[in-house]
Structure 1
Amino acid sequence: MKVKKTIKQIIRHLVLAALALFWLIPIIWLFVTALGAEKGINTNHFFPEKWSLDNFAQLFFRPDTVANFPAWFKNSFIIGCACCVISSVFVLMVAYAFSCMRFKGRKALMNFSIIIGMFPGVLSMLAIYFVMKLLGLNDSLIGLIVVYSAGSGLGYLICKGFFDTIPVSLREAAKIEGASELTTFVRIVIPLSKPMIVYTVINSFMAPWMDFVMARIMINSKEPANWTVSIGLYNILQRTLIGDYFAVFCAGGLIVAVPLSILFVIMQKFYVEGITGGAVKG
């Protein structure tokens, strides 16, 4: 029995190692291409013949009309931080209202919001664009922030599940002491919801940081300095540019992943606790 168990474990680990290898190969290739001296796509060999940091230097210190990465990074960072704050506040407030408050039409409103959230966002993109164009907010960072943040409250469900696990007696004790709903929310519920706040903040930052489709629809400027990272890197993949900028594109792809990777590594414990805690109750 011990031999059979050992063989099964070996087979299981070999399968997992093979899957991990297949998953890592594209990332490794992206990394070594960014560190190579060649500017175009290298199809003759996996590892570059000459190593260089020139692609990263060009990305940050020699921006041009094609690759203006500092401006792209700044625009995406502004959008990500603004949406992170606004969306997190919206999600936490909506989740608190549905979890801790009782009012007429509460369940119907919850069901309606869940049904609305099931429809793909791509269905409303053109309508959103024309609405923002009428308001004069298309082709602007403010318009993108409004678009990303406006419907964020619909993502309340996991946060509500976490708030449901907080003892009702704590809120009742606060109300007996004369605390308002706002005071109870800020001073009782929020301090007990650190894992959920971390989960909400990461998701609120990650969505606009990684989005391409909505950003491409909203930003129509021909000036590269007005683009986000996703639009700028996609533009590099044009046939006329890819031969001279593909390695720079790989370097940009690695740099874009760095903030999210650091954020996940630092907040991983709270992120997992937020997901599991929010799944206890619906």
Structure 2
Amino acid sequence: MTARRVLRWVLLTAATVLFLYPFVWLLSASLKPGGQVFDNALLPHTWAWGNYADIWRAAPVAAWLLNSVAVSLAAAVTVTLTSSLVAFGFAYFRFPGRNALFGLVLATMMLPGAVTMIPVYLIWNSAGLAHTQVPLWAGNLFGSAFYIFLLRQFFLGLPREVFEAARVDGASHWTLFWRIAVPLCRPALIVSFVFELKASWSDLLKPLIYLRDPALYTLPRGLKALSDQFGQAGEQRWEIVLAGSVLTTVPLLIVFFLAQRYFLAGITTDNRRG
């Protein structure tokens, strides 16, 4: 038993080191002078803390950070709210064709994003919003098939007798959702929120398509602009780009550690019900 425990800890430690190494390398490279970025040393021979000051001087990083925060929060809040409403409807109400309609919702997950990219762009362009930040989050007002599926499984696990008793006491359908279902499924809602926050924060494709004004750039879009500027053959300053990558990664790590307890609870609860 002891040997198995030691082997398990060795494997877990090896996996942890394997997953942490890319971030450690990124952090180390962002603190190296330009000529040492791609050497084999894990720790810098010379600590170049000025790289982070240089990136703040080279680009409006503060504005990009605020844009990313605003867009990511808007995307996460809207998709969590709308998906939970739809999921609760599929879980609570009994109506003809419910399963077929739910299957149709799930079928939208089979569509690659590239298939709908041009039609969606034309819709936003016809609305006069193609070059604003609105398309980066407003599509979530219609929910997401993945989060609807995830949340529906949690809502189905709630005792129906609780809702029936509340209906007898005169509770409305909104009260059933907001006062009963939402508090009981808080871990699942936090999982959906964190997933979407991460996806929106690190998204590069949509900002590349819709954003033209540098003042509206999110961090990934701004980092791409920095990469184009400092990654060219005549002006290679990869330490600046890597410092920007660290600034993009750290907020997600903070969010995960703050929501870790609820996040892991939501994942483990979902696995038990699956």
Aligned partner of 1:269 in structure 2 is: 261
The answer on 1:44 being equivalent to 2:36 is no
Aligned partner of 1:117 in structure 2 is: 109
The answer to whether the Cα contact below 8 Å between 1:95 and 1:163 also exists between their aligned partners in 2 is: yes
- Given residue 225 of structure 2, which amino acid in structure 1 is its aligned partner? N
Task: Please give the per-residue CA displacement for 1:69-102, whole angstroms capped at 9, x wherever unaligned.
Answer: 1121111111011112111111110110011111
SS in 1 for 2:80: helix
Q: How does 1:2-17 map to 2 (within 5 A)?
A: 6=3, 10=6, 13-17=9-13
Aligned equivalent of 1:231, options 221, 236, 242: 221
Q: How does 1:30-179 map to 2 (within 5 A)?
A: 30-36=26-32, 38-39=33-34, 42-46=37-41, 47-60=43-56, 62=57, 64=58, 67-152=59-144, 155-179=147-171
Give aligned pairs, total.
Answer: 271
The answer to whether the Cα contact below 8 Å between 2:92 and 2:156 also exists between their aligned partners in 1 is: yes
The answer to whether the Cα contact below 8 Å between 1:35 and 1:55 also exists between their aligned partners in 2 is: yes
The answer to whether the Cα contact below 8 Å between 2:155 and 2:185 also exists between their aligned partners in 1 is: yes
Distance 1:43 1:157 in 2: 44
Distance 2:179 2:218 in 1: 37
Task: Please give the per-residue CA displacement for 1:102-142, whole angstroms capped at 9, x wherever unaligned.
Answer: 12221111000111112222221122112211111111111
- Given residue 135 of structure 1, which amino acid in structure 2 is its aligned partner? A
The answer to whether the Cα contact below 8 Å between 1:41 and 1:246 also exists between their aligned partners in 2 is: no
Per-residue deviation, 1:16: 4.4
Q: TM-score, normalised by structure 1?
A: 0.86
Task: Structure 1 unaligned segments of length 5 or more: list them.
Answer: none
SS in 2 for 1:156: helix
Distance 2:194 2:79 in 1: 11
The answer to whether the Cα contact below 8 Å between 1:87 and 1:153 also exists between their aligned partners in 2 is: no
The answer on 1:218 being equivalent to 2:234 is no
Per-residue deviation, 1:235: 2.4
Aligned equivalent of 1:190, options 160, 182, 189: 182
192 and 82 in structure 1: CA distance in 2 versus 1, 3 angstrom threshold: same
- Given residue 70 of structure 1, which amino acid in structure 2 is its aligned partner? A
Q: Percent identity?
A: 28
Task: Structure 2 unaligned segments of length 5 or more: list them.
Answer: none
The answer to whether the Cα contact below 8 Å between 2:166 and 2:176 also exists between their aligned partners in 1 is: yes
